[in-house]
Amino acid sequence: MSTITVRRGEKKDLPSLLSLVKELALFEKAPEEVTNTLSDMERDGFGEKPVFGFHVAEVDKVIVGIALYFVKYSTWKGAGLYLDDLIVTEKMRGQGIGQKLFDAYMDEAKKINAKQVHWQVLDWNTPAIDFYKKLGAKIDVEWLDCKMTEAQINKYNSK
């Protein structure tokens, strides 16, 4: 197998990042849910106030995986890092790439002195659940995920 290189993501990597996000959405049976664009990602990741960072995994100079994260804050614990996506293209899974990307994510958490790291996994994604358990993660079924869509945000009326 070729050497796996993990490095901080750059603006030039955004097309590959978006492609992997769309591949994940297809795997999760929700391809129509991806509405993010390259220009959105460029603004949000490399604009005046970046809101996310990411690492890429390359094999033979081809991006085969990403770990995208952002800083979160807990009033109870302080600064933390949220892993929004850890994606390895399907044909490259099982080769240690996910572990290398997760290691880079954890290094970022240590750099900001994070008190916690967080992420989500779908309850039917057994390979991912097994991977995270192997890393020592606690899978918490007590907390429910709450969110609003852009349309719901726009429709919301402050009282």
Count CA atoms within 13 Å of residue 23 on its CB side: 17
- Collapsing DSSP to helix, strand or coil, 112 comes out as coil
Distance CA 79, CA 140 (A): 20
Give the range of the structural domain holding residue 48, as residue numbers without chain letter: 4-155
Average pLDDT, consecutive stretches of 10 residues, N- to C-terminus, the chain (159 residues) = 92 98 95 97 98 98 98 97 97 96 98 96 93 93 88 88
Task: State the pLDDT at residue 1.
Answer: 57
Is residue 119 within 8 Å of residue 140, measured between CB atoms? Answer: no
Active site residues: 132
| CATH number for the domain harbouring residue 28 | 3.40.630.30
Residue that the structure tokens 């994604």 belong to:
125
Task: State the pLDDT at residue 149.
Answer: 85
Structural domain total, the chain: 1
Residue that the structure tokens 């709450």 belong to:
146
